[in-house]
Structure 1
Amino acid sequence: MAAFEGAANPQRAIENGYYIEQPGRSLAETIAARIALRPSSTHILVGGIGSGKTTQLLVTRDRINEIGDIKAIYVDVSLYTDIFKIKPLSLMAITGLVLSELIGDSEGQDIEKSRALFHKLAYGFSENKDILGSAVNLNRVVRHRGVLVDKPDNPRAVFQAMTKLQEAATTAQKSITLLFDGLDRLDDAQIFSQLVTSDIQSISESGIGVVLVTPLIVAYSDYRGTIEQAVQSFEYQSCFDVFEDANAYNFFEKVIKTRAANDFIQEPAIQNLIVYSGGVLRDLISLTEAAIEEAYLLDSDKVYENHVEAAVIPFARAKSLGLSYKEREILWDLSEEGKFNPTTKEGIKLLAAHHIIEYRYPERRFLIHPVIQPLFQHEQITYEEEEEITDEDVPF
């Protein structure tokens, strides 16, 4: 069970030897090579939820650190601020905090002042000020807003303080690269575009390289062109077409067999798990974990096809809950007529959650996730009939 824990930190899977190289050249290899050539360059990594972006980011960090003269640091943005309240200057503030931690207990009065100042700029502070002209000794409390809390009072000071910390941090390291994770949960492409064109460019100009995980909405928004022009590379982590690509299928098979004891999961069960995963890495892991649980509850020493089938039922039910009527219409169109245009908010949401899976190799195509595909193989309901629909009419 522990080997297939879907909610586990990907770092732990890597440390346990469960990481399997993707077929072909992985994004980790590609981005690490680009950073090696240009240490202060900026790179975007985009993909849907559960497509393996965090794992690729962690492997990228390890590959960069193997170079020797570049220090790569993985940064979970959600540990510093609320993702949904993020705004321009937020990533610069987080960069300053990371650099403060990197410097540690370095000696030097100027460094200590810069660290203290940056914490104030990031989180805000209060001070007592005398009231001028008062006949008695009076003062008032003045509150200064921090970048990660509210709109800052002095944006320029944030960049100046970060630059001083960067200079101190690079005295022991030739170069620094930050790998920001967590922003793929941000659902505002405009805010993300502002982060790239302001924060990321400023961080890069200070001599720091950046790799940034982004929300899938960015790949289909009107801001994509602006974002691509502001960075050195824009990489897409797509799902694996286990139906049309033999290498992708073999990759998923190896993921299961690396984590499971010999012959523990029977071959037909492995085949079903790969098919039901739809080529989504996280779904493969989660479904396998659920199938192992079903086998345990039925007092079985091995995982068979019937255990996989039992695990798929609640998985499909959970995946189909909360779909809006418009999202269902999109799924029906794709199922019945093979039509899908990923330009609407609903369509992008279905892609991000892998209700609809996008493959890029061996050819670009869209597929309804296999576990919910059977729910949409029936006569399409029109918008005019919407008011008459009852719970019994909807297959989920």
Structure 2
Amino acid sequence: MAAFEGAANPSEAIESGYYVHAPGKLLVDNISNRIALRPSSSHLLLGGIGSGKTTQLLVACQQINEIEDIHAIYVDVSRYTDISKITTGVLTAITGLELAKLIKDSQDKNVIESIKLIRNLAHGYTTEYDPYDDFYDDGGQYIAVKGIIPKKTEGYGISLQLVETVSKLAKATFENYGNLVLLFDGLDRLDDAKAFMQVVYSDAKSISSSGIGVVLIGSLTAIYGDYHDTVDKSLDYLCYQPFFDVENDPEAYNFFEEIIQTRSSEDFIEEAAIKALIRFSGGVLRDFITLTQASIEETYLSGEDKVQEQQVLKAVDSIGRNQLLGISDNELKIIKQILKTRIFIPRTDEDLRLLVRRVILEYRYPKLRYAVHPAIKPLIQQILD
């Protein structure tokens, strides 16, 4: 059952052999091919929550590391700081820290000095000062200098000293590792669209100026909000990871079937149950894994030895109800309109919220269309009736 743990680390799934290459030309292939041609290029990977962006980023990191003279580093930004409190300069500081790890054993005095400086700039430090200096009036002997990576609510912009320090570390790292590419994960959890775009505009440029390639995962707000032009001007490439249209794309349906076959023993999940799992997942990878996990739990609780369609339907009802929590009356009107006309043009904040929460799903292949998530559609119809 651990193979279907929805909250599991995607890297563990890849290491366990559960990764299945999706049909067609994937973003991971496009990104790695472009970086092979332009190692210092910048990329923004967008997509709905649960569309498989993190998995794509991890696989891209592996593929890039197979390219001669290019070294890729995957970074989960949330391991450094609270995503909601991120500000300009943080990704640049993190880049410096990652470079410092690569050359931590250097005996070069200039490199050692730069490593010490980037750690101080990133995390802050205390320094001794003259208590008789009129500038300080608190009577102490030390002053705390805050770091760029915020521990609570504060942060700083990108200083020239930070940019120059990262550039020095980059030059020292290039000698041993060749071209460098950093892949930043987790920024799609940053709800503040303005803050996200400030980070993209400032940090992506700062890191690229040091000759380092950048791949960022971002929120849907970057293309549906007011900052689309900023993205186009700040980054070289914009990539989008849509959900899989398992209803209209046979290859997508087969892809989900292969995931089941890779992660479960033969005949453990009955054919009717597999069809229900794929259909009610809506082609959302995370929902597919979570729904399968919940169905297996329902099977164990019922005393059955195989997952049947009835267990899937119970899991769908439970997950669907949870997904609908917090839906407003106006949002219900939008959903009703989509069910009636099958037309949806995301324009308002409410429209965007429905997309981000996966109440409304966007598909781009075999054609662009929007649909109410199949797991909540029966519940929505009950409410509207």
Q: With structure 2 as the length reference, what TM-score do the two structures score?
A: 0.94
Give the deviation of 1:350 after TM superposition.
Answer: 1.3
CA contact (8 A) 2:89 2:158 kept: no
Give the deviation of 1:12 after TM superposition.
Answer: 0.9
Query: Structure 1 residue 222 and structure 2 residue 226: aligned?
Result: yes
Q: Secondary structure at the match of 2:347?
A: coil
Specify whether residues 307 and 375 from structure 1 end up closer, same or farther in structure 2 by C-alpha distance, changes over 3 A only.
closer
CA contact (8 A) 2:88 2:157 kept: no
Q: What aligned pairs does 1:1-396 form with structure 2 within 5 A after superposition?
A: 1-130=1-130, 131-132=132-133, 140-149=141-150, 150-152=154-156, 155-377=159-381
Specify whether residues 295 and 163 from structure 1 end up closer, same or farther in structure 2 by C-alpha distance, changes over 3 A only.
same
Give the deviation of 1:299 after TM superposition.
Answer: 1.9
Give the deviation of 1:324 after TM superposition.
Answer: 2.4
The one-letter amino acid of 1:85's match is K
Encode CA deviations 1:54-113: one digit per residue, 9 max, x unaligned: 000000000001113111010001111111111111110111111111223222222221
Specify whether residues 318 and 173 from structure 1 end up closer, same or farther in structure 2 by C-alpha distance, changes over 3 A only.
same
Q: How many residues align?
A: 378
CA contact (8 A) 1:217 1:348 kept: yes
Q: Moved runs in structure 1, 4+ residues, more than 6 A?
A: none
Q: Distance in 1 between matches of 2:254 and 2:372?
A: 22
CA contact (8 A) 2:242 2:363 kept: yes
Q: Secondary structure at the match of 1:275?
A: helix
Q: Secondary structure at the match of 2:181?
A: strand
Q: Distance in 2 between matches of 1:238 and 1:129?
A: 55
The one-letter amino acid of 1:141's match is Y
Q: Distance in 2 between matches of 1:379 and 1:337?
A: 18
Give the deviation of 1:209 after TM superposition.
Answer: 0.4
Give the deviation of 1:379 after TM superposition.
Answer: 8.0
CA contact (8 A) 1:22 1:251 kept: yes
Specify whether residues 249 and 145 from structure 1 end up closer, same or farther in structure 2 by C-alpha distance, changes over 3 A only.
same
Give the deviation of 1:339 after TM superposition.
Answer: 3.6
Q: Distance in 1 between matches of 2:348 and 2:157?
A: 37
The gaps in structure 2 that reach 5 residues or longer are: none
Q: Secondary structure at the match of 2:50?
A: coil
Higher mean displacement: 150-159 or 9-18 = 150-159
Q: With structure 1 as the length reference, what TM-score do the two structures score?
A: 0.91
Q: Secondary structure at the match of 1:170?
A: helix
Q: Distance in 1 between matches of 2:140 and 2:294?
A: 63
Q: Secondary structure at the match of 2:267?
A: coil
Give the deviation of 1:126 after TM superposition.
Answer: 2.2
Give the deviation of 1:21 after TM superposition.
Answer: 1.0
Q: Distance in 2 between matches of 1:322 and 1:312?
A: 18
CA contact (8 A) 1:52 1:281 kept: yes
Q: Distance in 2 between matches of 1:222 and 1:133?
A: 48
Structure 1 vs Structure 2 CA RMSD: 1.8
The gaps in structure 1 that reach 5 residues or longer are: 381-394
